[in-house]
Amino acid sequence: MTDVVRLEGIGKAFLGVPVLRGVDLALRGGEVHALVGENGAGKSTLLKVLAGVHRPDTGRVVVRGEEVSFAAPRDAQAAGIAIIHQELTLLEHRTVAENVFLGREPVRRGQVDRRAMEAETRRLLGSLGEDGIDPGTEVARLSVARKQVVEIVKALSADATVLAMDEPTAALADGEVELLYRLVRRLRDRGIAILYVSHRMREVFDLSTRITVLKDGAFVTSAPTAELTTEQVVRHMVGRPLDTLYPERATAPGEVRLALRGAGNDRVRDLTFEVRSGEVVGVAGLQGSGRSALLRAIWGVEPFTTGTLELDGTPARVTGPRTAVRKGIGYVTEDRKGEGLALRQSVRDNTLLVRRATSRGARARRETDLRELLASVAVVARGPHQEVRYLSGGNQQKVVLARWLAVRPRVLLVDEPTRGVDVGAKQALYRLLRDLAADGLAILLVSSELPELIGLSDRVLVLREGTLAGELPAGADEETVMGLATGHLVGEPA
Amino acid sequence: MTRLRLADGTAPVLVVLVVLLVALAFAGPAYSEPSGYLALLKRAAPLVVLAVGQYFVVVSGGFDLSVGSLVTAEVVIAARLVDGDDADTAWVVALLLGFGLLVGLVNGLVTTKLLVPSFIVTLGMLLVLDGAVFLWTGGAPRGALSPSFRVAGRGGADVPLLGQVPWSVVVLLVVVGAAVWFMRGPTGRLLVAVGDNEKAVHLAGGRVDRLRLLAFVLSALLATVAAILLAGFAGVSAQVGQGLEFRAITAVVLGGVLLGGGRGSVVAAAAGAVTLEALFSLLNLLGVSGALESAVQGVIIIAAVAYAARGTALRHLLPHRKTTVDST
Amino acid sequence: MSAVGVAAGRLPARHRAVAFTPVVVVYLALAALLVVGSVLVALDGGVLLDHGGVLNILTRSTVLGLVAIGQTLVIVTGSLDLSVAYLAGLCSLIAAETMAGSTAMVVPGVLAALAVAAVVGLVNGLVITVLKANAFIATLGVALVLRGYLEHSYTGPAGSVPRAFQHLGYDRIGPVPVSALLMLALAAAAWWYLRRTRTGYHMYAVGGDVDVARLSGVRTGRTIVTAHVVCAVMAGLAGVFLASRLGSGAPYVGTDAGYDLESIAAVVLGGTALAGGRGGVAGTIGGVLILATLDTIFDDLGVNSFFKDVVRGVVLVVAVALYARRRHTGRSS
């Protein structure tokens, strides 16, 4: 079998900092090739070289035996290479068909041939078994999973023979991932070469036929998936074994910090549970089961309308983030860049954000403990003046945690703390959360990565369709959790 | 940590300013002694005060296009109400500040509560103020300012070594000093954070609407102060505030403040205003026609923004946020 | 299992066809304004929509309409043009001075004015795309340069247009000025351009999200420059038309009428989002007609002309507040 695309010795530096150093990669038709590596290993940059966004400093890009040089994304498109970027690249207020053909609209007698565009879009959607999507619908009206489908159709409509996907499941709920798997397999069977970038080992092993590992911008290894184990791949990625990924659990939880008694709103119903000081309580459930809605309700963004919420044994009314903070609740959002950090501001300003926003006078001005705060979460930065956008995902998340420590909360709500954080930094965050609990915090943790949730939590609450489906002790297995979450006692974990 | 740090984008405008000041010393004999520079600062004072106000709005992610018309309105109102009588000065100044407060509140409340982009709100306010002023005066302002009203704009205090220091320079220094103090405090830092990511500030327990409202109120109050200085300095006319909103925005942008919010220092914005005034003085000394002033202003404003954009292009590999006209 | 996440996509797609789009709202508001205005004027003892009234509304709409059509294109593309007012003045001068009263020079005069306009638009576009300056600042800068040139070179009206050319400004069919028909024809052309051609599609894409457009292979720079050139040419046409009505060129004819901010107001009034990516020419024309009708009603009622500015400011803010509200509730439902 011949290679459709070969990248040979690709090197790329930004402002003198090498990001890729002589990377080789070959893609074959009908193959799902997984590209893995820690954050900063150069996966996205390599993808952007393939997409024509960046020009390599050294090395060659060979497509079907001919060396090419892409000046812009449209050149890569013309060569049959389509990329699905990490963030969705759809225009919310245009229709499905307009998005699919963006930049390549068919023209007939001087104007865009909308009928042909919609017919072709319908055909493509149908060929993927997705005829439920109307080509004339505005994209803003579609669910995230369906947007992902549109994204893939958009890539395919350019007669792509190579499809590169950068973390395609990052925005998807657990239940929606299956849909993507099905699509990827169908495309592979059509003979399309697929480059699949992901952090999630299970996806990589479920889907790929070959795995290439990058580390620090350099090629480490490439081998058929069947010849590798998860442990081997992770070792290649981090360069050291991660035998103790999860810290040890607490010994004895303290008194009840947070309690819900029959609490509910229009997203969640009739929730009753307690979280104690020193505990990490995990919340599992499918997307839409009310996991994040539960945290946002406790935090007062969409408050509970029924039942009671008790803090340290006394009923409390939390009507918004401001009262929540004042009552000793902290919240780490799942959307770190969108709603967590002010990216252009310094580490200092982000760390002191909550304190400044919620207290007055001398308390609001207090900065003397800044170094102590940053040291307690072990942020690696050039200094308190560095803008947070220049930090890695893991360090950004530590700044978010430090911001909450600055106001000494009693309850910490944590939503997807390790999203977009590489394996090594994940371990540090797990350690940190556990230490915070040991210091007396009550932590309520939401994560869509089941191994992480189970590995870190003292107990796991499982939500299904807005209600509490069950509670599992530490060390429950993934199948039991999924069984409760889906309502099927035994089912294939999705 | 206590060492003085220049905020991002401050250095270039200071360099340009120093170059201009040196050039002024060579071009005009008046600038061989402090009084020349004091006169320059006196001329620049109204614009500096306006630029500081505009800075608050811009850095929090908005625009205030109404300040020029507000200045005109304040001057016209003052002339009509004071009508040359010193006894009326005090309450009229209080009334002007009250009027400024009202305009700022309306700008801020419509922006935050009705979710209208500030560009449109303040454009509407500009039309309303312009129309109202002319409606009230019938086209030509009536009345006159009292001598005590004009002291702030034209008077001064005698200081050894420096000679006469104009009150407007004192006002300028007080305003800039207070603004620096404010921006170093928690509320000031939050204001910049709002311009960067208002959701993050909201989720951190901050009152985003109040902060943005505060920016508009400060802008309108400082426009009132600028109006009082300008009235004293230049006298009463219906054109006194014309184009000042754009000139203030130019000054702020020249100071490296990012349109759309989230970045820039107030010192740089003030320096931008002085730079603009110094440039006009220099052009004047070199005999360039006053008519070309705006052309020069146009060229430097483009150059300043292009320079700033080139700087960010270098950091292009990092995730960048789009700059739209209005972040709301 | 995928049904959990997919359910949200099952909204009836046809539903929006009957919904109150901004364009529908604008024309309903215009109709309401005409009715209310007619009643008010009738109570005052006059008739709003008589021969003179219709003529008045359409004449007022012509120049602002021309400028606003161009402004719509740049705003849809996510940009903005603050230089149109000075440009209209400049083009009126170029046209009138080139013609210098000679009928033979009409065509060269018009072409020269439009060529200069196109160059200015090109400069706007290039400053934004190549120098990466914010559109607000870039076009403000160009506006200031134009102003400096006008202040430096002119003190008052200059040049003259031949009598034949003045027909453009004054001829009419019944109560309908020929120039208004030309403006509407250009509006229709611009509508077609935005809604039917690839470049039009790309303007919406660039205004919607410039990064997405670029990653999808759209030539974003070229699209932005095109929008600015078209916008400038429309402003140039407005200048040419003004010269034909005035008989000569006038440096501040555009700025005295505030066409820069006024045209933005008309576009926004017509339901086009200031951030770009949504809206269109049909709404803009509605916005222009509303502004012109308001003026005419006030004239008929003998209201002080400065009061118009006040009402205009209020109408603008209220309209945008209503759109913002609709968009907001639309999103959360």
Backbone angles phi, psi at C112, to 5 degrees: -65, -45
The CA angle C182-C47-C65, to the nearest 5 degrees, is 25
The mean predicted confidence, pLDDT, of chain A is 86
Note the pLDDT tens digit of each residue in A37-47: 876 678 888 99
Note the pLDDT tens digit of each residue in B166-215: 899 999 999 999 999 999 999 999 999 999 999 999 999 999 999 999 99
Inter-chain CB proximity C217 and A137 less than 8 Å: no
Q: What is the mean pLDDT of residues C151-176?
A: 89
**Hey, which of A142-146, A246-250, C117-121 has the most confident mean pLDDT?**
C117-121
| Start-end of H helices in B114-264 | 118-137, 147-154, 167-184, 186-196, 198-203, 208-234, 244-254
Note the pLDDT tens digit of each residue in A283-300: 998 777 888 899 999 999
Residues of chain C with Cβ-Cβ distance to B305 below 8 Å are: 131, 133-134, 137-138, 141
Contact status of C7 with chain A (Cβ, < 8 Å): yes
Inter-chain CB proximity C131 and B119 less than 8 Å: no
**Nearest by CB: C13 against A72, A134, A175:** A134
In whole angstroms, give the CA distance from residue A318 to residue C210.
Answer: 40
Residue A390 confidence (pLDDT): 85
Residue A174 confidence (pLDDT): 62
Indicate the residue type of A173: A
Q: Is the pLDDT of residue C7 over 50?
A: no
Residues of chain C with Cβ-Cβ distance to A142 below 8 Å are: 8-9
Q: Is the pLDDT of residue A492 over 60?
A: no
Residues of chain B with Cβ-Cβ distance to A345 below 8 Å are: 189, 192-193, 196, 262
**Hey, which of A146-150, A371-375, A474-478, B80-84 has the most confident mean pLDDT?**
A371-375
Residue B27 confidence (pLDDT): 86
Q: What is the mean pLDDT of residues C181-198?
A: 95
Inter-chain CB proximity B295 and C134 less than 8 Å: no
Residue A244 confidence (pLDDT): 65
Give percent above pLDDT 70 in chain A.
94
Residue B321 confidence (pLDDT): 35
Greatest Cα-to-Cα distance within chain C, rounded to the nearest angstrom: 78
Contact status of A338 with chain B (Cβ, < 8 Å): yes
Beta-carbon contacts of residue A291 (< 8 Å; ≥ 6 apart): A283, A284, A285, A415, A446, A463
| Start-end of H helices in A383-446 | 393-405, 423-438
Compute the nearest-CA separation of B9 from chain C (Å). 15
In whole angstroms, give the CA distance from residue A281 to residue C15.
Answer: 44
In whole angstroms, give the CA distance from residue B134 to residue B137.
Answer: 5
Residue C46 confidence (pLDDT): 84
Beta-carbon contacts of residue B134 (< 8 Å; ≥ 6 apart): B238, C306, C309
Q: Are the C-beta atoms of C272 and C27 separated by less than 8 Å?
A: no
Beta-carbon contacts of residue A46 (< 8 Å; ≥ 6 apart): A7, A10, A20, A23, A25, A35, A214
The mean predicted confidence, pLDDT, of chain B is 85
The CA angle A187-A193-A196, to the nearest 5 degrees, is 85
Residue C193 confidence (pLDDT): 96
Note the pLDDT tens digit of each residue in B249-259: 989 988 888 88
In B, minimum Cα distance to A354 occurs at B204
Contact status of B3 with chain C (Cβ, < 8 Å): no
The total number of residues shown for chain A amounts to 494
In whole angstroms, give the CA distance from residue A233 to residue A250.
Answer: 30
Contact status of B310 with chain C (Cβ, < 8 Å): yes
Q: What is the mean pLDDT of residues B115-125?
A: 89
Q: What is the mean pLDDT of residues C221-246?
A: 96
Tokens read off for B306: 């292009």
Residues of chain A with Cβ-Cβ distance to C10 below 8 Å are: 132
In whole angstroms, give the CA distance from residue A208 to residue A225.
Answer: 7
The pTM of this model reads 0.83
In whole angstroms, give the CA distance from residue A160 to residue A263.
Answer: 51
Inter-chain CB proximity A321 and B205 less than 8 Å: yes
Q: What is the mean pLDDT of residues B141-163?
A: 79
Would you tell me which residues 7-46 of chain A have a C-beta closer than 8 angstroms to some C-beta of chain B? 14-15, 19
Residue C116 confidence (pLDDT): 97
Q: What is the mean pLDDT of residues B140-150?
A: 82
Residue C312 confidence (pLDDT): 81
Q: Is the pLDDT of residue C315 over 50?
A: yes
Q: Is the pLDDT of residue C316 over 90?
A: no
Beta-carbon contacts of residue A29 (< 8 Å; ≥ 6 apart): A1, A4, A161, A191, A192, A193
Q: Is the pLDDT of residue B64 over 50?
A: yes
Bridging pattern class, strands A314-315 and A306-311: antiparallel
Inter-chain CB proximity A93 and C277 less than 8 Å: yes
Query: What is the distance, to the nearest Å, from the Cα of residue B211 to the centroid of all Cα atoms in its chain?
Result: 19
Inter-chain CB proximity C208 and A93 less than 8 Å: yes
**Nearest by CB: C215 against A85, A145, A172:** A85
Name which of A56, A73, A71, A52 is nearest A14 in CA terms: A56
The b-or-e profile of A9-24 (16+ CB within 10 A means b, else e) is ebbbebeeeebbbebe
Q: What is the mean pLDDT of residues A377-402?
A: 88
Q: Is the pLDDT of residue A490 over 60?
A: no
Cα separations in angstroms, A19 against A14, A39, A76, A216: 7, 11, 21, 7
**Nearest by CB: B200 against A342, A356, A358:** A342
**Nearest by CB: C218 against A102, A154, A494:** A102
Residue whose pair of structure tokens reads 């403000």 in the numeric block: C140
Query: In a 10 Å sphere around its CB, with 0-12 CB exposed, 13-18 middle and 19+ buried, how is residue B139 labelled?
Result: exposed
Q: Is the pLDDT of residue A26 over 50?
A: yes
Residue C328 confidence (pLDDT): 54
Name the least confident of A46-50, A281-285, A476-480.
A476-480
**Nearest by CB: A112 against C7, C201, C218:** C201
Banded model confidence at residue C333, pLDDT cuts 50, 70, 90: very low
Indicate which of C6, C14, C194 best probes the interface with A, i.e. most A CBs within 10 Å of its own CB. C6
Q: Is the pLDDT of residue A243 over 80?
A: no
Inter-chain CB proximity A103 and C196 less than 8 Å: no
Indicate the residue type of B154: R
Cα separations in angstroms, B8 against B177, B268, B269: 19, 9, 12
- Quick one: CA torsion of C93, C95, C97, C103, rounded to 10 degrees? -150
Backbone angles phi, psi at A198, to 5 degrees: -155, 155
Tokens read off for A284: 């599992």
Note the pLDDT tens digit of each residue in C48-65: 888 888 898 999 899 999
Indicate the residue type of C116: V
Q: Is the pLDDT of residue C18 over 80?
A: no
Residue A173 confidence (pLDDT): 63
Sign of the four-CA dihedral A380, A384, A385, A391: positive
DSSP-derived letter for residue A338 is I
In whole angstroms, give the CA distance from residue A370 to residue A376.
Answer: 10
In whole angstroms, give the CA distance from residue C244 to residue B284.
Answer: 38
Residue B32 confidence (pLDDT): 79
Q: Are the C-beta atoms of C255 and C85 separated by less than 8 Å?
A: yes
ipTM of the complex: 0.84
Tokens read off for A314: 């006394």
Q: Is the pLDDT of residue B238 over 70?
A: yes
**Nearest by CB: C205 against A53, A102, A137:** A102
Residues of chain C with Cβ-Cβ distance to B135 below 8 Å are: 304, 306-307, 310
Q: What is the mean pLDDT of residues B216-236?
A: 93
Compute the nearest-CA separation of A397 from chain B (Å). 13
Contact status of A321 with chain B (Cβ, < 8 Å): yes
Terminal C-alpha separation, chain B:
34
Inter-chain CB proximity A89 and C8 less than 8 Å: no
Banded model confidence at residue A240, pLDDT cuts 50, 70, 90: low
Residues of chain A with Cβ-Cβ distance to B256 below 8 Å are: none
Contact status of A344 with chain B (Cβ, < 8 Å): yes
Q: What is residue A411's three-state secondary structure?
A: strand
In B, minimum Cα distance to C257 occurs at B127
Q: Is the pLDDT of residue B87 over 90?
A: no
Residue B46 confidence (pLDDT): 95
Q: Is the pLDDT of residue B316 over 50?
A: no
Which one has a higher pLDDT value, A21 or C6?
A: A21
Bridging pattern class, strands A58-63 and A32-36: unpaired
Backbone angles phi, psi at B212, to 5 degrees: -65, -40
In whole angstroms, give the CA distance from residue A253 to residue A272.
Answer: 18
Helix axes B244-254, B266-285, angle to 10 degrees: 110
Residue A187 confidence (pLDDT): 87
Banded model confidence at residue A489, pLDDT cuts 50, 70, 90: low
Q: Is the pLDDT of residue A491 over 50?
A: no
Beta-carbon contacts of residue C119 (< 8 Å; ≥ 6 apart): none
Which subunits have 3 or more CB–CB pairs within 8 Å of chain C?
A, B
Residue C68 confidence (pLDDT): 97
Note the pLDDT tens digit of each residue in C260-292: 888 998 999 998 988 889 999 999 999 999 999
Name the least confident of A77-86, B285-294, C145-154, C156-165.
B285-294
Q: Is the pLDDT of residue C232 over 60?
A: yes
Residue whose pair of structure tokens reads 């759209």 in the numeric block: C218
The mean predicted confidence, pLDDT, of chain C is 87
Residues of chain A with Cβ-Cβ distance to B5 below 8 Å are: 385
Banded model confidence at residue C172, pLDDT cuts 50, 70, 90: confident
Backbone angles phi, psi at B181, to 5 degrees: -60, -45
In whole angstroms, give the CA distance from residue C110 to residue A120.
Answer: 45
Contact status of A172 with chain C (Cβ, < 8 Å): yes
Which subunits have 3 or more CB–CB pairs within 8 Å of chain A?
B, C
Inter-chain CB proximity C317 and B116 less than 8 Å: yes
Note the pLDDT tens digit of each residue in C68-95: 999 999 999 999 999 999 999 999 999 9
Q: Are the C-beta atoms of A174 and A286 separated by less than 8 Å?
A: yes
Banded model confidence at residue A171, pLDDT cuts 50, 70, 90: low
Contact status of C11 with chain A (Cβ, < 8 Å): yes
Q: Is the pLDDT of residue B315 over 60?
A: no
Banded model confidence at residue B25, pLDDT cuts 50, 70, 90: confident
Q: Is the pLDDT of residue B322 over 80?
A: no
Q: Is the pLDDT of residue B154 over 60?
A: yes
| Start-end of H helices in A87-218 | 96-100, 114-127, 144-157, 174-189, 201-207
